[in-house]
Amino acid sequence: MRVSILASGSKGNAAFIEMDGRRLLVDVGIGVRRLKKGLASLAVVPESLDAVLITHEHSDHIRGLAALLRACPLPVYSRPATLRALARAGLPPDCLHVVHDELTLGGVRVTAFSLSHDAADPVGYTIRGSRRCTVATDLGFVTGAVQSAIEGADALVLEANHDPALLRQGSYPWPLQQRILGNRGHLANSEAAWALARMKKRPAKVFLAHLSAENNRPELAGDTVRGILHDQGIPLADMDIALARQDEIVSL
C-alpha cells in the first residue's frame, strides 16, 4: 500500500492511493499541471491510474477534473447525485460511473460510505486489498456509520479542519462560521481526536487533513489530537500522525 496526499485544504484536495497494483485518485481539486507534477514525483503518470473516486462536487475537490479527463479519459466513480452535479459541469458522460456502495477493481474493493456535509451526496471511501486505507474528510460530525467505516483502517485520512475558538475569533462572517460548525460542515480537531479514541483498532498511520488555513494551525491540530489521545491513556508510539498540507506532498 502507498498513500500520498498531493494537496489538502480549502484551496484543493487530491490523494493518490496504490493498493495491490491498483492506482486510484481520490478527488482532483487541484490543477492538472500541478497534479501531473505531484504524480511524477511519485513516478506515476495519469495514464497508469485505474480510476478516480470523487467524494463530492465542491470545487476544491473537482477543480482539475475536467482538464484531467480531457488529457486522459479515466473512469470516474461517485454517487448518482454527485455524478449529476458533475455532468452539469460539462464532463464527458462516458467517463462517469455510479458507485452506490461498493465496486471492485481487480482484487481491490472500494466501499463508499455516506458523510454529513452540505453537498448532493457526499461520501468517504475505504479501499481494501491486502491492507486497508480509509478517507473521511468534509463531514460535520462522525456518525455511527462513519465510526464503523473508519474502524480497522491501516491508514486513515481524517479531517481536522478547525479549532472552534480560532474560528469564532476569526474574520469569517457569522453565517459561514455556523455552516462550518454545523452538522453538515467540517470536523474540528477535537472531534477528529475523539473519533480516533473510539476506535478499537487504531491505524498505524493517520493523516490529519483538510486543515483550514485561517481557522487552524498545523501544530495546533497535531497537539490537540495527540493531547486528547494521551489524556485517554492511548499510547501514541504505534500511531504515526502526519499533517496533510495544502502545498506539500505528504506520503505514507
- Per-residue pLDDT, averaged over 196-225, amounts to 97
- Per-residue pLDDT, averaged over 101-128, amounts to 97
On average, the pLDDT of the chain sits at 97
0.85 exceeded by the pTM? yes
pLDDT score, position 87: 85
Whether 79 is in a domain gets the answer yes
Q: Is the pLDDT of residue 194 over 90?
A: yes
Whether 127 is in a domain gets the answer yes
Q: What percent of the chain has pLDDT over 70?
A: 100
- Residue 147 C-alpha cell reads as 465510526
Domain range holding 155? 2-246
Question: Which tens digits make up the pLDDT trace of 65-84?
Answer: 999 999 999 999 999 999 99
Overall domain count for the chain: 1
pLDDT score, position 89: 80
The CATH number of residue 214's host domain is: 3.60.15.10
Amino acid letter, residue 119: A
Whether 33 is in a domain gets the answer yes
Question: Which tens digits make up the pLDDT trace of 10-39?
Answer: 999 999 999 999 999 999 999 999 999 999
Contacts of 69 (CB under 8 A, 6+ apart): 76, 91, 92, 95
Long-range contact set of residues 79-82: C-beta below 8 Å, sequence gap at least 24: 79/112, 79/120, 79/121, 79/123, 80/121, 81/120, 81/121, 82/54, 82/56, 82/57, 82/119, 82/120, 82/121, 82/122, 82/123
Whether 252 is in a domain gets the answer no
123-127, 194-198, 223-227, 235-239: least confidently modelled range: 235-239
Whether 251 is in a domain gets the answer no
Q: Is the pLDDT of residue 149 over 90?
A: yes
Whether 77 is in a domain gets the answer yes
| Torsion angle, alpha carbons of 93, 53, 27, 201, to 10 | 170
Q: Is the pLDDT of residue 44 over 90?
A: yes
